[in-house]
Every structure is written in C-alpha cells, then in structure tokens.
Amino acid sequence: MHDEIGAGLSKIILLSNISLKETNDLSKTKNSLTSIADYALKTSENIRELIWLFNTEDLTLKNLSLRLKKKTDDYLEDTNINYNIIIANSISQSLSIVSKDVCRHLIFILQELLQNTIKHSEASEIKLTLEHTNNTLKFHYFDNGKGFESSETLTGNGINNIKHRVHQINGEIIIDSHIHNTNFVILVANI
C-alpha cells in the first residue's frame, strides 16, 4: 500500500508540474487539475486504509466488513451498477480479531474484482456476501456481467494478483465464470 501512496503522490506532483506549463490552454489545465484532485483523493483513501491497518484495535470481522462495504460504496457510487452487500449476523456482531494480512489482502482482492467488473464485464449487478462459520470466513463476489471462458483470462494479471493474495492468506479460491455471470468464492480458515 505504501507503494500506491508514493505512486499517487508522484503522479500528483507530475500533473501539477504539467498544469503549471499548460497555463495558456484552459481545457488542458482543467483536465490536469481534475486528475490531480482524483489522485489526491485516492492517495488520501490509501492513507486512511494504512492507518486503519495499523490500528489493531479495529481489526475485527465487523470492522473488516464495514471497510469492505465502504470500499464497494466508493467504487460503485458513480456507476450504474446495482449492488447488494450481505453481511451475515455472525460477522456484523463479531469482535473476532482478524490479522492485518487477511484484512489488507481481502481489501485489495475486492478492489481488483470491482475494477475488473467496471472495466470489463458490463455488469448491471454485483452481490458481495460475507459469512463466518466454523472459524472460516467466506467471501463470495458475484456479478451478472459477461464472464470469461478461456484459460487465457484465468492467467491474466488481475486474476493472478487475486490468486496470489489468496495464497498469501492461506485461503482457497473457487472461480466460476460463464457467459452471463462470474462468481469468486474465497475461503479463509482459522479466523
């Protein structure tokens, strides 16, 4: 995450310098300033995420679910995608502690899934379900967009990043994609 913060700040500096040079072209200056504001907001969000991850008192299943809900709200607020987030009572009331690694990786997995849905799937609906039974966290992400069939897609950067993150938290992943929908189920034991 600190790499993303550094990259965001570098991009803000670069765009600021470009804006200063484009003072004669108001439309280019406006576009640069809009980009600066976007990167500043994203960097600010990353800093908040980093602070949250360092505050170990807040690393509960309940707070993780709230963080995932906020991430989904933030990503989808300017889209036409309807979404539903279902958080089981076993999580919404839980004060069980979750490791920083599990929190961080699940947040980034959700971010990758949301980006892929927005960019590629043409989905009109997303459903995220979180359950906790028998010390296992179940993270289920569904979208009704165009899925993928080829094995090439399963080895793309986004999918590989998700698989790597699941492996880092000793989880299991099930990917089920069809022409009209995609499901990702991630199971993380010992929570």
Q: Is 146 found in the same domain as 67?
A: yes
**Mean pLDDT, contiguous 10-residue spans, the chain (191 residues):** 66 72 73 78 75 73 92 90 95 86 93 91 96 95 86 68 95 93 95 83
Residue 137: its pLDDT value, please?
A: 96
Residue 38: its pLDDT value, please?
A: 76
Q: Is 75 found in the same domain as 37?
A: no
Q: In this structure, are residues 181 and 167 in contact, taking their beta carbons and an 8 Å threshold?
A: no
**pTM score:** 0.75
Residue 6: its pLDDT value, please?
A: 67
Residue 51: its pLDDT value, please?
A: 77
* Type of residue at 187: L
Nearest to 117 by CA among 108, 128, 125: 125
Residue 22: its pLDDT value, please?
A: 64
Total domains in the chain come to 2
Could you give phi then psi for residue 25, rounded to 5 degrees?
Answer: -110, 100
Sole residue written with tokens 């963080």: 67
Q: Is 182 found in the same domain as 118?
A: yes
Q: Is 85 found in the same domain as 173?
A: yes
Q: Is 182 found in the same domain as 124?
A: yes
Residue 57: its pLDDT value, please?
A: 65
Q: Is 180 found in the same domain as 139?
A: yes
